[in-house]
Structure 1
Amino acid sequence: MYGSAAHNIYAQNNVEVESPAKLIEMLYEGVLRFNAQAKKAVKDKDIEKKVYWINRSIAIITELISILDLKQGKVSKYLEGLYNYEIQLLSQANVHNDITKIDEVSNVFKGLSDAWRETNNVAH
């Protein structure tokens, strides 16, 4: 279900990933970290850093979309729509310096991360 493209991102950065499940967890955590940095940049009125961190979050979400296996059914299609909506929210946050939209995306990814971790702990 998870292509090698996401793994290559981490391999290029010399980050060792034990499993595809761990990689997804790391990607979710990356969105949360980058959103926190973007939120700080908005508060600091640092436009350059805001754009940088929001673009990093969007890049991760785009990668999450690219590794979805849409043949897996409803969950994959739901996630594709959800991820695209989160990109829209981050784009709006970028244009309007809207921390509430960054928080909304972070809340969604916190929930996804928790659910992912719980699902994969049960599976092992």
Structure 2
Amino acid sequence: MTGNKAYEAYQNNAVNTASGGELTLMLYNGCMKFIKQAKKDMEEKNYEAKNKNIQKAQAIIQELMITLDPQYEISKQMMPLYEFMHHTLTQANIKNDQEKLDQVLEFVTEFRDTWKQVILETRKKQYAKSAQV
């Protein structure tokens, strides 16, 4: 039990000290995890767990929608994609459709990979600037 408490403390600390970019990355990773678990639940015909995991993925998509800053053009482009993913997750849940889960997982994975690259590039620039000082 002590190891579990230590892990929870570590996780809480990671979230509390993460930058906005890192939090977004965590959201994408969490969404991917819940979609993958929902697929597994669907295969095992554990529909209650599938429903919960799809709802968790939808909650993450909603959080990503809420945090979009409308003053940036990219936000205006991302909103319809998030709405599509949210709707597709609903349809996957209703119809027990793994292909729809795969479709959303593909989008989330691509967004996560792109976001990860943005974070790495930003860090490189920050380190290059601090090295020059």
TM-score normalised by structure 1 residue count? 0.86
Which residue does 1:101 correspond to in 2? 100
CA distance in 2 between counterparts of 1:119 and 1:22 reads 11
Cα deviation for residue 14 of structure 1 reads 2.4
Q: Which amino acid aligns with 1:25?
A: L
> CA–CA distance in 2 between the matches of 1:29 and 1:69?
21
Q: In structure 2, what residue type is equivalent to 1:38?
A: A
Bigger Rg, which one: 2
Q: Could you say which residue in structure 2 is the equivalent of 1:41?
A: 41
- Superposed CA deviations along residues 41-71 of structure 1, whole A, max 9, x for unmatched, are 1101111001000000000000000010011
Deviation of 1:15 after TM superposition, in Å, equals 4.5
In structure 2, the partner of 1:14 is 12
Could you say what the CA RMSD is over the residues aligned between the two structures, in angstroms? Answer: 1.1
- Give 1:1-124 correspondences, 5 Å limit: 14-17=12-15, 18-73=18-73, 75-124=74-123
**How far 1:82 sits from its partner (Å)?**
0.4
Q: In structure 1, how many angstroms separate the alpha carbons of the residues matched to 2:61 and 2:119?
A: 20
Q: 2:14 corresponds to which letter in structure 1?
A: E
Whole-angstrom distance in 2 between the partners of 1:121 and 1:67: 21
SS in 2 for 1:69: coil
**C-alpha distance in structure 1 between counterparts of 2:43 and 2:110, whole Å:** 24
Once the two structures are TM-superposed, the CA of residue 16 in structure 1 deviates from its matched residue by 2.4
Work out the percentage of aligned pairs sharing the same amino acid: 35
Deviations 1:29-50 (A, max 9, x none): 0010000110011101111001
TM-score by length of 2: 0.80
Query: Relative to structure 1, is the Cα distance of residues 64 and 15 closer, same or farther in structure 2, using a 3 angstrom cutoff?
Result: farther
